[in-house]
Amino acid sequence: MLQVETELKNIISTIPPKFRTTIVQYAKSIKLRADKGELSDTEYLEKIPGMTESIVRESKIDRSKYSDKLDW
């Protein structure tokens, strides 16, 4: 865990001070979710049948195949 903490510290030190309040707010929201026993976003998505496979499949498609405009 120390490696993760060090990486976070290094990243935060490179972010301009005006954005650091946002980082603290986000960290607090994650802690609140963890305290409630909620799933992480990844855990939630992994529980949806076929979602992991769909994400992997889509990640292999060349970006040029996608449109710049939404069709929905």
Asked if residue 31 has pLDDT above 90, the reply is yes
Could you tell me the pTM of the whole model?
Answer: 0.55
Asked if residue 71 has pLDDT above 80, the reply is no
3-state secondary structure the chain: CHHHHHHHHHHHHCCCHHHHHHHHHHHHHHHHHHHCCCCCHHHHHHCCCCHHHHHHHHHCCCHHHCCCCCCC
Q: Taking the domains of the chain in order of start, what are their residue ranges? A: 16-61
Asked if residue 1 has pLDDT above 80, the reply is no
Residue 6 has a pLDDT of 95
Residue 63 has a pLDDT of 83
